[in-house]
Amino acid sequence: MTATGHHPPRRLPIRMCARCQRFTQNPVLVHEHHGATGPGFNVYACEECAPHYPPPTDELSALADTPSG
């Protein structure tokens, strides 16, 4: 915050589309890559390419669907 009490303008996220390699100001999260030994990363696509990716899956939901026995 500045001395006048105003916040600086918010910086818009700019990401590169994983499919067409164009930069977009409206990125869509299409995949979360989890790292086993370190931090993971997110994969983004532009709004035009996002429908070409399958919907994100939740790995923990797969564990809940496993029959216990």
The answer to whether 50 and 24 have CB atoms below 8 angstroms apart is: no
Tell me, what's the pLDDT at 36?
84
Task: Kindly give, in sequence order, each residue whose CB lies less than 8 Å from that of residue 48, ignoring residues fewer than 6 positions away.
Answer: 20
- As a whole number of Å, the CA-based R_g of the chain is 18
The angle formed by the CA atoms of residues 54, 59 and 65, to the nearest 5 degrees, is 105
Tens of pLDDT along the chain (69 residues) come to 556 678 888 877 899 999 999 999 999 999 988 888 988 899 999 999 999 999 877 767 767 665 655
**pTM of structure:** 0.65
Tell me, what's the pLDDT at 10?
80
Q: CA nearest 31: which of 23, 41, 21, 39?
A: 41
Tell me, what's the pLDDT at 61?
72
Tell me, what's the pLDDT at 23?
96
DSSP state of 25: S
